[in-house]
Amino acid sequence: MYRYAQKLHHLLWSLLLLALITATNAHAAEKIDLIIDTDPGADDVVALLFALASPEELNIRALTTVAGNVRLDKTSRNARLAREWAGREEVPVYAGAPKPMMRTPIYAENIHGKEGLSGVVVHEPKKGLDEGNAVNYLIDTLKSAKPHSITIAILGPQTNLALALIQAPEIVQGIKEVVIMGGAHFNGGNITPVAEFNLFADPHAAQVVLKSGVKLTYLPLDVTHKILTSEARLKQIAALNNNAGKLVGNILNEYVKGDMEHYGIPGGPVHDATVIAYLLKPELFTGRSVNVVVDSREGPTFGQTIVDWYDCLNAPKNAFWVESGDAQGFFDLLTQRLARLK
């Protein structure tokens, strides 16, 4: 009798172990192969810390940098800083386009500060840039990737991906989807009455990406302006009592001032971090497939995203447009991930 019970015990333990392994593998199989293209930038750095703290879901292949909020040397240094602060120096950083495709460059130092990261003291990170230009990295990686296997998150102007698509259109084969922070429809613009900064900074690049036919999701101001900081939410982050919580608290305290003043709102958006939350927990967000057109004509509508939300034109639906999200769910997830960092 005893031997029988022992055998049963052993069998039950083996079954439990097998179930655990299967569940872990199944979960691991859902990992997102991700390249983050970014112009850090205060909210970019929050997004990068968020993503780098989520290795179970995100296999970050590389960070690629672009000029945008500040010049390329500073966006590249800030991407390396975020990597260092997250303790993830194995992730390569490749510098990309130093200016937009066609228009004269614009920057947002008035919002992000001269160093592109107000609220904290920056330093020269230990680890340097990786060899090679980001555009070539995108071409080589996407050309040789398994079909539709790589997700690209674009947190700044879309110049790098656009240049890669122009040079090697066949790279679409390696792209699973492109998730973009940018654009505005219901909300109105933040750099002109109708244009959001990332699109205004390089509308021609956005047109190239739209025309490529890749699976596109936009997280515009329509959603980011519904996911705002508050005293309580910033306290939640500061209460983490780790370096990451302190950094993000100081960065956001400084960063949101501009929007709070401009819009007369009680808190500010953390634009780019919503892209990472969308990748980690899409169920926090709602939207619909729409036709989007980007205006690159000189004039008051330069950089505008024209969204056919009610399908008036019955035009092809070329993007998924996210227009709302669960603000507290976002901050709870962000805080929970930042808690994992030092």
The three-state secondary structure class of 60 is: strand
Question: In the annotation, is 271 catalytic?
Answer: yes
Residues 148-167 that bind ligand RIB (CB under 6 A): 155-156
Residues 56-95 that bind ligand RIB (CB under 6 A): 68-69
Q: How many residues bind ligand RIB (CB under 6 A)?
A: 16
The three-state secondary structure class of 263 is: helix
Q: Which residues of 229-257 are buried (b: 16+ CB within 10 A; e: fewer)?
A: beeebbebbbebeeebbebbbbbbbbbbe
The least distance separating ligand RIB from the CB of residue 291, rounded to whole angstroms, comes to 22
Q: Which of 36, 42, 44, 251 binds Ca ion (CB under 5 A)?
A: 44
Q: Which of 32, 34, 37, 39 binds ligand RIB (CB under 6 A)?
A: 39
The beta-carbon contacts of 50-53 under 8 Å, at least 24 apart in sequence, are 50/273, 50/276, 50/277, 50/334, 50/337, 50/338, 51/153, 51/276, 51/279, 52/82, 52/83, 52/86, 52/88, 52/91, 52/341, 53/86, 53/244, 53/337, 53/338, 53/340, 53/341
The residue among 43 and 254 lying less far from ligand RIB, judged by its C-beta, is 43
Cβ–Cβ under 8 Å, residues 209 and 162: yes
Residues 244-303 that bind ligand RIB (CB under 6 A): 271-272
The residue among 156 and 245 lying less far from Ca ion, judged by its C-beta, is 156
Q: What letter represents residue 31's amino acid?
A: K
Other CB atoms within a 10 A radius of the CB of residue 181 amount to: 30
The least distance separating ligand RIB from the CB of residue 41, rounded to whole angstroms, comes to 4
The residue among 145 and 256 lying less far from Ca ion, judged by its C-beta, is 256
Other CB atoms within a 10 A radius of the CB of residue 161 amount to: 31
Residues 176-205 that bind Ca ion (CB under 5 A): none
Alpha-carbon span 110 to 325, nearest angstrom? 28
Other CB atoms within a 10 A radius of the CB of residue 106 amount to: 17
Burial class (CB in 10 A: 0-12, 13-18, 19+), 44: buried
Q: Which stretch binds Ca ion (CB under 5 A): 212-220, 231-239, 272-280, 333-341?
A: 272-280
| Interacting partner of 267 out of Ca ion, ligand RIB, none (Cβ under 5 to 8 A depending on kind) | none
Question: Does 222 engage in binding with ligand RIB (CB under 6 A)?
Answer: no
The residue among 110 and 241 lying less far from ligand RIB, judged by its C-beta, is 110
| Interacting partner of 190 out of ligand RIB, Ca ion, none (Cβ under 5 to 8 A depending on kind) | ligand RIB
Q: What letter represents residue 187's amino acid?
A: N
Q: Which of 54, 75, 187, 190 binds ligand RIB (CB under 6 A)?
A: 190
Site string for Ca ion, 117-156 (x = CB under 5 A): --------------------------------------xx
Other CB atoms within a 10 A radius of the CB of residue 336 amount to: 13
| β-pair partners for 177 | 151
Question: Does 198 engage in binding with ligand RIB (CB under 6 A)?
Answer: yes
Q: Which of 196, 202, 259, 323 binds ligand RIB (CB under 6 A)?
A: 196
Q: At what angle do helices 134-144 and 159-167 cross, to 10 degrees?
A: 60
Burial class (CB in 10 A: 0-12, 13-18, 19+), 30: exposed
The least distance separating ligand RIB from the CB of residue 159, rounded to whole angstroms, comes to 12
Question: Does 41 engage in binding with Ca ion (CB under 5 A)?
Answer: yes
Contact residues: ligand RIB, CB under 6 A: 39, 41, 43-44, 68-69, 108, 155-156, 181, 190, 196-198, 271-272
Contact residues: Ca ion, CB under 5 A: 39, 41, 44, 155-156, 272
Catalytic residues: 271
